[in-house]
Amino acid sequence: MPKCTRPAHLRDAHVTAAEWTQSAAERCCARSHPICGREQHWLSSIWHSCDSRNRIFHLVPRNWRCLVDSYDVTVEEDLGEIQLIKIEKRKYWYQDDWYLKYITVKTPVGDYLEFPCYRWITDEKEIVLRDGRAKLPRDDKTQILKQHRRKELESRQKMYRWKEWHPGFPLSIDAHSHSELPRDIQFDNEKGIDFILNYTKAMENLYVNRFMHMFQSSWSDFADFERIFVRISNTISEYVMQHWKEDFMFGYQFLNGCNPVLIRRCTEIPKKLPVTMDMVECSLERNLTLEEEVKQGNIFIVDYELLDGVDANKTDPCTIQYLAAPICLLYKNLEKKIVPIAIQLGQKPGPDNPIFLPSDATYDWLLAKIWVRSSDFHMHQTVTHLLRTHLVSEVFSIAMFRQLPAVHPLFKLLVPHMRFTIAINTKAREQLICECGLFDKANATGGGGHVQMVQKAMKDLTYSSLCFPEEIKAKGMDSKEDIPYYYYRDDGIKVWEAIKSFAEDVIHIYYGSDEVVCEDVELQAFVKDIYVYGMRGVKASGFPKTIRTRETLAEYLTVIIFTTSAQHAAVNFGQYDWCSWIPNAPPTMRRPPPTEKGTVTIEQIVESLPDRGRSCWHLGAVWALSQFQDKELFLGMYPDEHFVEKPVKEAMAKFRKNLDEIVSTITERNKNKKLPYYYLSPDRIPNSVAV
């Protein structure tokens, strides 16, 4: 057997059963632990179809540095078909969990049976494994297999319990801390997801912690912000720093920044935004009226209505913080670039809520755009990122563990896309978004405003809004000819189609007809759990209560996989690129929005922006949140072989080929671009929400 230098607790087990007809024998090899000197034993059983007797043997490491070990098992009669293998670890003097990847059994005729595990064996608990062939509930004919399936789910449902963290939120896992989670879904190293440690390290690495003692002092001017760019070497963030004041850069971010989901085509100017032709005539380039531009589809809108009435952060009595709920009107010029033409900083029109225009004084227009960028930051962090990727993905994860046994093909398909999601969310509730958490330190929506935002945003969290092509079309943003520079849309649709094709291939392997889908009680329980608990049973959410066709199932699985992988990547890993230049994405504003024109000065703008300490916390946060996990697994990478069937492996190979083609297309497009878009390149899309 090959040797390796991996730790003993990360080895595989290899069971060889070659001499089935010899006299009964049991072999036990024990070796003292190199540290404590005690002997270690793992107890295992094979359950077979001949009779009810268990053949017992011990799985014991012969070499503490061995990755794969082999054990001979001899019995006195033909075992017939092996149905189950049981692994049990005995508890000794100290915690010594064992991560078992899989067991391979070799039969007398030379066939190999794979028993995937990919779980931790802890204390004196046991794990009963089935072979790696995926089975639907209808495929199990023997009572012992039906019972095993049922017991696994009963056990999981006790460990994975739903809990309401805040009223109106999607339900989450019932655990107060990361250490309370089931061992199988914890991070291997809890320090790796310690937000306090990571943010502190980020500030040290960026050389900004020297500013922290001046927490509430303002910067002097825009150039002063460059002092925290001392150790930054990032093409996009430097380009943002140089061009952030330009209208083109402002509009471009609605298409390809880290929150490219809010812009929509304007079909009618809302009454709450009483903009007139006289106001915007100088911005229009086609010699058409504003109404004609609207009819031709050249006007776009971003409305931050959800922020209206949200309480600003009051956790620091020494610093008053402010929020706004702007409405921004944008225009597609003759170069087909999106630029702003009107901004109103509040929802209710009136003399103290002027409409700011590009023709206004330079600082008036600049401050109005800064307020929009700040509001966009809040919507991005709390709604686009937290709610619509993290919290939704946790719902999918909990429901999967509760309702799909490990032998189910959909569990095998989905489990790589749930890796560490519950763990990262639990840690966030411990340190980041909790009361007095890190989120409060630099964000105007801290101190409870972010909770209000999620509660309000739940009404717009619908199934159709998670269907990527459908949502793009609903916003009127689907035409490549009209809007040629919307790379988020173009790359997202390619990845969506690749995932859907893969899901369809897997579905057709296991579901021969729509009738088979209907009668899969575990699938139906999974879908119901998501609707009832995750979406709180709200009919308006549009989440299905049942799934009755293979086509619907393919779309449903695509929603899950796309949300947990591609959508999260699109809105997470660009945070440092677009938000590290503080004036482009202020996490808080320290002066109220202007109520009249012609009064804004450069000093007022700088005093409105975050102080030095909050700027440093913000920079550390967007840096830490933009980093991949150690040993990250990207879309299409499935090193854990939950599936053993050849048709599925062929489907995976086809999936990877499709993804590689997308990578090549994106790479070619990005060549020589000053602002490359790569967040939806599959080689940069982690399989799951894990950061």
26 burial class (0-12, 13-18, 19+ CB within 10 angstroms)? exposed
Bridge partners of 233? none
Question: What angle, 0 to 180 degrees and rounded to 10, lies between the N-to-C axes of helices 449-457 and 362-379?
Answer: 70
From residue 616, give the alpha-carbon distance in Å to each of 37, 194, 397, 429: 50, 18, 34, 22
The CA-based diameter of the chain, rounded to the nearest angstrom, is 99
Is 166 within any annotated ligand binding site?
no
Residues 543 and 463 sit within 8 Å (Cβ to Cβ): yes
Can you tell me which residue has the tokens 């975050």? Answer: 610
Show the DSSP H helices in 160-276 as ranges. Answer: 195-205, 222-225, 235-243, 247-256
Q: Could you tell me the two tokens for 20?
A: 């089935």
Packing angle between helix 195-205 and helix 421-431, nearest 10 degrees? 80
Q: Cα–Cα distance between 194 and 366 in angstroms, integer? A: 37
Q: Tokens standing for 510?
A: 């296991």
390 among the known binding-site residues? yes
Instruction: Confirm whether residue 58 is marked as ligand binding.
Output: no
Q: Name the nearest CA neighbour of 465 among 553, 388, 400, 381.
A: 388
- Torsion, CA 213, CA 215, CA 221, CA 224, rounded to 10: 40
Q: Is 385 annotated as a binding residue?
A: yes
Q: What residues pair up with 301 in beta bridges, in sequence order?
A: 264, 329
* 372, containing H or E segment: helix 362-379
Written as six digits, the tokens of 252 are: 């471009």
Is residue 680 a contact partner of residue 566, using CB atoms and an 8 Å limit? yes
Beta-bridge partners for 103 = 13, 115
Q: Which residues contact 80 (CB under 8 A, 6 or more apart)?
A: 48, 49, 50
Within a 13 Å sphere around the CA of 37, how many CA atoms are in the beta-carbon half?
A: 0
Distances (CA, A) of 600 to 320, 321, 504, 606: 19, 18, 57, 11
CA angle 393, 395, 396 (to 5 degrees): 65
Per-residue tokens: 580: 């590290």
DSSP 345: S
User: Which helix (H) or strand (E) segment is 669 a member of?
Assistant: helix 646-670
Contact partners, residue 217, CB within 8 Å, separation at least 6 = 611, 612, 613
Nearest to 434 by CA among 125, 656, 177: 177
What is the per-residue DSSP string for 114-135?
A: EEEEEEEE-TT-EEEE--S---
Residue 235: both structure tokens together: 């093409």
Q: Which helix (H) or strand (E) holds 294?
A: helix 290-295
Residue from 574, 573, 587, 620 nearest 375 by CA: 587
Residue type, 369: K
Q: What are phi and psi of 45, to 5 degrees?
A: -130, 150
Other C-beta atoms within 10 Å of 141: how many? 8
568 in a labelled binding site = yes
C-alpha dist (Å) from residue 677 to 376, 568, 628: 19, 15, 17
- Measured in Å, how far apart are the chain's first and last C-alpha atoms? 37
Q: Which residues are annotated as a binding site?
A: 96-97, 385, 390, 568
Which residue numbers belong to the known binding site for Fe cation? 385, 390, 568
Residues tagged in the binding site annotation for Ca(2+): 96-97
